[in-house]
Amino acid sequence: MPSNKKEGIIFGLFMCFGMVLIMSVYNTALHGFSSFTVGSAVIQFVITFIIAFIVESIVEPKARKMALSLPYDKSKEINFIVALAFCMVPLMVLIMSVYGLILTALMIGIEGSIFTAYLKTVGLNFIVAFPAQLLIVGPISRWLLTKYVKPSSQLKPELID
């Protein structure tokens, strides 16, 4: 887990990249690949990544505060990871589903009630986002953080005689 603001930003970038990648592929598969082009996918990914990172930056402190207020054994890091996921994923899904619905409306249109479409989008996104965050993106992001970021930030400069 990140231990300072710099590590928190890097970890957030890792998490956003992984979640946007998984959710973009998932939602493209849901809506069909008929209008898929590599160029449009890259542009859509970049825009979605930026929006998701901004949303994550706003949601994460609130989710962290909620997770820390829950009654569980805080001495085990895994408990905090799961509690944070239970607080963070629903908030992110609720917000990013609005973005996804707007994108869907612009690209292929929405049939029926927008409220019904939103509820369906939230449900479909949550069933993939929660396990993806807990089982794939979270562990990979924590591994990347400890492998490539934390070792360099924890090195102590050697004294020269």
Dist. CA 105–CA 121, nearest whole Å: 12
53 and 13 Cβ atoms separated by less than 8 Å: yes
**Residue written as token pair 């479909």:** 124
pLDDT beyond 80 at 1: no
pLDDT beyond 80 at 155: no
Greatest alpha-carbon pair distance for the chain in Å reads: 75
pLDDT beyond 70 at 136: yes
Dist. CA 7–CA 3, nearest whole Å: 6
Report pLDDT digits (tens) over 19-32: 999 999 998 888 77
* pLDDT: which is higher, 31 or 12: 12
Could you tell me the pLDDT band of residue 36, with boundaries at 50, 70 and 90? confident
Query: 3-class DSSP state for residue 24?
Result: helix
How many Å from the N-terminal Cα to the C-terminal Cα in the chain?
36
Dist. CA 136–CA 140, nearest whole Å: 6
C-beta neighbour count of 40 within 10 angstroms: 11
Query: What's the Cα-to-Cα distance from 4 to each of 27, 82, 144, rounded to whole Å?
Result: 33, 20, 16
Global confidence as pTM:
0.86
Q: Is 109 left (phi over 0), alpha (psi -120 to 50) or beta?
A: left
The angle subtended at Cα 15 by Cα 38 and Cα 86, nearest 5°, is 125
Dist. CA 42–CA 67, nearest whole Å: 34
125 and 23 Cβ atoms separated by less than 8 Å: yes
